[in-house]
Structure 1
Amino acid sequence: MMMNNKTTAPVSSVGADEEQSIQVNTNQIISNSQQQINVEAVKSPEKSGQSGLDTISMTELYDTVYPLRTPIVDGFLYGGMYLFVGAPKVGKSFFMAQLAYHVAAGLPLWEYPVHQGTVLYLALEDDHARLQRRLFRMFGIEGSNKLHFATQAKAVNEGLELQLEAFVQKHLDARLIIIDTLQKVREASGDRSSYANDYEIVTKLKEFSDKYGICLLVVHHTRKMESDDSFDMISGTNGLLGAADGAFIMQKKKRTANTAIMDIVGRDQQDQELTVDFDRERCVWMLTKAETELWKVPPDPLLEAIAGLLTVDTPKWSGSPSELLERLPRLEIAANTLTRRLNVSVEQLYNDCNICYESKRTHNGRLTILERIDK
């Protein structure tokens, strides 16, 4: 079957009822590893109808190279729309500033590697003077031109998306936008506590994060009622968590305690429970214990063989799938199977082997391009 490269939004759609957008007859090129790839899904006119569904076959899925999605913080935070929830004055804003600074500066967050990029922090419950004092206490005089702040923004449905859109179009390497807090960008509505309203507002924010391939992290409060499941303590209805890609819950046993538990759940990462301590002198959170050890994808002989093919002296290779197989004689695999294996391993090839992969059709047939990059 002739392979058509299609491009979809960088993160999978929310829920089973949302349509999946498909774009055909496009060569998707995955090249710049340092710049976030901002892609908008486009419906296929050939498969769409007023009463029809946009569908894609399993074969087409395997024959497609989808855009590369790199984490924001490896093993901790990924592209998509996430909630960060905690009781008032528990230390959420200090951690938001800490996370924003580390991503903007490209500094590891605890033991987690960070992929550097521009960050926008909507500190909607602060003013510039308070931000200045807080950041100086946390990080000293070392600043970052990649970390931007705003203390005022419009509400969802009242122009927030246009404001965020203008920012990411100006800063093409934007990776993270923090909204502190959700309540500040809710539109005024008498029915704003309904499941439908909660689901709608998070869905709109998620659509924006999917469209531009970034992480949108929204700060929210817990409810006063206790629950055995920490995620049941998110203020509002289940529509908030149901529409989001994941959530972080920060809790203290005592408000005066320095220790907090951070529970993490999401579509693109494993569930985790972290124990963090607050350094009151520097006003930063320190990781003291990770309850869940991250599971890692086992080594893939195919990817290891390709990694061995590219060296410092020969960082790039291009040719047909058959020619690639000739360079990998120990692998008993068909050419079309090789292409599909590489198509579905784009992220692992990049994250584990530092190799960018591109597959496109030319007048001479299928062309495979592999390039070793320095992240």
Structure 2
Amino acid sequence: MTTTRLPKTITAGALLATPIPPVKWIIPGLLPAGLAIFAGPSKAGKSWLTLWLCLQISQGKSVWGREIEPRTVLYFSLEDTLGRLQERLYQLVDAEEDPERLILQTESHGIGQGLEEQIVSFIHTYPDISLIVIDTLQKVRKGDQNGSMYANDYRDIGALKELADKYGICILLVHHLRKQSSSDPYDQISGSTGIMGVADTTWLMHRQRMSKTATIRVIGRDMDEKMLHIREENCVWTLDEEETAEQQALKAIPDYLWKVADYIDSVG
């Protein structure tokens, strides 16, 4: 379950000659092992989407056209009751299915107050675990007012990243966005830049209230940026379109600029 550890100091030549294990993907091309943030507006459907993803991964079912290896998943649904989770599962799970690899938990300790030990205990109990979701991040923060917001964010998120890296799993933190807009969409993540600074992968969800469609901007250390256009149908989010960063950049160029460019090219 643990990852291959290199020595703390190594020469560049030795590193070039050392075989490094490939990236471990929980969702190929979208969610690797490590610390991940899934941020979006309040009441945007993050919990529904997260529960569906947990079900798909635990049962080895495809996610948006990507094949998944079935693994145990632990979902800390800290803003829900077991009754509410049961109602959602009734809408997401077929009668003949038995998603026994999805472990649900509605209570947890805080970061630095027993959560890390709780996670390690689950990992030892379920050695094939690949994903742990904490919904929401704020529920496991202890609200320490000492030090700067950046330092507190970096310390708390860093403690969970250390566990993810040590055991070769993904820990996904569901989080909120600020209400004020920003020219950089990632600046809308609630808290300081320390949160995204620690994260290996960030999912940023945007959805207009009551809309059936949404977008998820995906960025990470192990992948190029992507934009997912998704649609909600019967409580399940399906993929309409997936764009690369290059495709997004081309789409952002107004049509009249292409016409001007074509004209300049035609006249030399």
**The TM-score by the shorter chain falls in which range?**
0.7 to 0.9
Which residue does the alignment assign to 1:102?
Answer: 56
**1:33-182 alignment runs, 5 A limit:** 37-39=1-3, 41=5, 54-141=8-95, 142-182=97-137
Structure 1 residue 199 displacement after superposition: 1.0
State the percentage of identical aligned residues.
38
SS state of the match for residue 230, structure 2?
A: strand
Greater gyration radius: 1
Change (3 A) 1:180 1:192: farther
2:176 maps to which residue?
221
Specify the alignment match of 2:161 in structure 1: 206
**SS of equivalent residue, structure 2 residue 222:** coil
State yes or no: 1:240 paired with 2:240.
Answer: no
**What is the Cα deviation at residue 230 of structure 1?**
1.4
Q: Which structure dedicates a bigger proportion of its chain to helix?
A: 2
| Structure 1 contact 193–237 (Cα < 8 Å) conserved | no
User: What are structure 2's unaligned runs of at least 5 residues?
Assistant: 247-268
Q: Contact between 1:264 and 1:273, CA under 8 Å: does it hold in 2?
A: yes
Residue identity opposite 1:158 in structure 2:
Q
Give the number of the structure with larger relative contact order, counting CA–CA contacts within 8 Å between residues 6 or more apart: 2
Return the offset for 1:40.
7.0
- In 1, Cα distance between equivalents of 2:58 and 2:108: 21
Compared CA separation, residues 239 and 126, structure 1 to 2 (3 A): same
Gapped regions of structure 1 (runs ≥ 5)? 1-36, 45-53, 295-375
1:194 aligns with 2:149: yes
SS at match of 1:130: helix
- After superposition, the C-alpha distances for 1:326-362 in whole angstroms (9 at most, x for unaligned) are xxxxxxxxxxxxxxxxxxxxxxxxxxxxxxxxxxxxx
Shift of 1:75: 1.1
Q: Structure 1: how far apart are the matches of 2:214 and 2:147? A: 30
Report how many residues are paired. Answer: 246
The one-letter code sitting in structure 1 at the alignment partner of 2:81 is: D
Q: TM-score normalized by structure 1?
A: 0.63
For the residue of structure 1 that corresponds to 2:214, the secondary structure is strand
Residue identity matched to 1:96: T
Three-state SS of the structure 1 residue aligned to 2:238 is strand
Secondary structure of residue in 1 paired with 2:153: helix
Q: C-alpha distance in 1, partners of 2:245/2:67?
A: 15
In 2, the alpha carbon distance for the partners of 1:129 and 1:237 equals 34
Q: Report the secondary structure of 2:181's partner residue.
A: coil
Question: Residues 92 and 75 from structure 1, CA distance in 2 versus in 1: closer, same or farther, beyond 3 angstroms?
Answer: same
